[in-house]
Amino acid sequence: MEIVIRPTPADVAVTAADIVADHVQRGPAVLGLATGSTPLATYQELIRRHQAGGLSFSGCVSFNLDEYVGLPKGHPESYREVIRKEFTSHVDIPDAKVEGPDGTAADIAAEAKRYEDAIKAAGGVDVQLLGIGTDGHIGFNEPVSSLASRTRIKTLTTQTREDNARFFSSIDEVPIHVLTQGLGTISEAEHLLLLATGEGKAEAIAATVEGPVAAINPASVLQFHPHVTVVIDEAAASKLR
Ligand code: F6R
């Protein structure tokens, strides 16, 4: 596991964009995308490089990590919409190549299987962007998720619903269920790129990098992966030994 500590969130975005761009420039990449606040500056930096003319995503395919269950299609906070709005609609990835689990599917278990099959059919994810929850979740694999889990429905913890309430008008509107790639699914990506900024993530980062591997801290599964880059700012690194 490589840990890169950068002074500020803006520096984290530049380093993360360098890593993603490197994969994209080596050939059409399969990108694993995260939503939430943390990767937004990285997406902006990638968009900037694309618009400056130096970086094309044509031929790339993307897969979202997760999706809320129960939000109507087209809801502005559905992760399909968020990833289009914040990233893919500003670069040259065709919309049909922007994939995400469908949280409106009538048969959620069948949709989870379809999504796993789609990732495999694309040849697997080359670089997977990850944020981390204050409780150590990656994707929406909340504490005590199986370290070998596959894409499936999960229930959000109260902590995560509170953390995400800022995107909705009240916590009551934050869905309770999500469809998320499992920790086993995420672990199959060739390169995992975990980003974190701010002191609020410092404990989760310390537990992930230095704590025991345990289902109570889902992100600790990264310790088993052969190619992980953790890019964090000084505040998120402040509880590392
Ligand atoms: C989002 C996701 C989540 C977030 C995490 C951190 O697709 O999978 O694991 O990465 O909740 O969210 P932020 O970046 O908003 O702190």
pLDDT tens string 23-57: 999 988 999 999 999 999 999 999 999 999 989 99
144: left (phi over 0), alpha (psi -120 to 50) or beta: left
Q: Which CATH number does the domain housing residue 156 bear?
A: 3.40.50.1360
Q: In this predicted complex, what is the ipTM? A: 0.99
Residue 241 forms part of a structural domain = no
pLDDT at 54 (0 to 100): 85
| 239 is a domain residue | no
The domain of 153 spans: 2-233
What pLDDT is recorded for position 2? 98
pLDDT bracket for residue 183 (50, 70, 90): very high
Rg (CA), the chain: 17
- Give the pLDDT confidence of 194-207 residue by residue, as tens digits: 999 999 999 999 99
Q: Kindly give the distance from the C-alpha atom of residue 181 to the centroid of ligand 1, in angstroms, as a whole number.
A: 13
Buried b / exposed e across 125-163, counting CB within 10 Å, b at 16+? Answer: bbbbbbbbbbbbbbbbbbbebebebbbbbbebbeebbeb
- Whether ligand 1 lies within 6 angstroms of the CB of 65 is answered as yes
Are 175 and 156 a contacting pair, CB within 8 Å?
A: yes
Q: How far is the CA of 99 from the centre of ligand 1 (A)?
A: 17
**Annotated active-site positions, please?**
66, 135, 137, 142
Instruction: Single out the residue of 233, 27, 229, 6 nearest to residue 123, CA to CA.
Output: 27
- Whether residue 170 is contained in a domain is answered as yes
Q: Over range 120-131, report the average pLDDT.
A: 98
31, 33, 38, 192, best to mutate for ligand 1 pocket (most atoms within 8 Å of CB): 38
Q: Whose CA is nearest to atom 10 of ligand 1?
A: 131
Query: Which residue CA neighbors atom 3 of ligand 1 most closely?
Result: 139
Domain count for the chain: 1
Does a structural domain hold residue 238? no
Q: Which amino acid is at 181?
A: Q
Q: What is the mean pLDDT of residues 108-114?
A: 98
Strand residue runs (E) in 83-151 = 98-99, 127-130
Are the CB atoms for 217 and 43 separated by under 8 Å? no
Pocket flag, ligand 1, residue 131 (CB < 6 Å): yes
Residue 181 lies in a domain: yes
Name the residue with tokens 């199986």: 146
In a domain, residue 127? The reply is yes
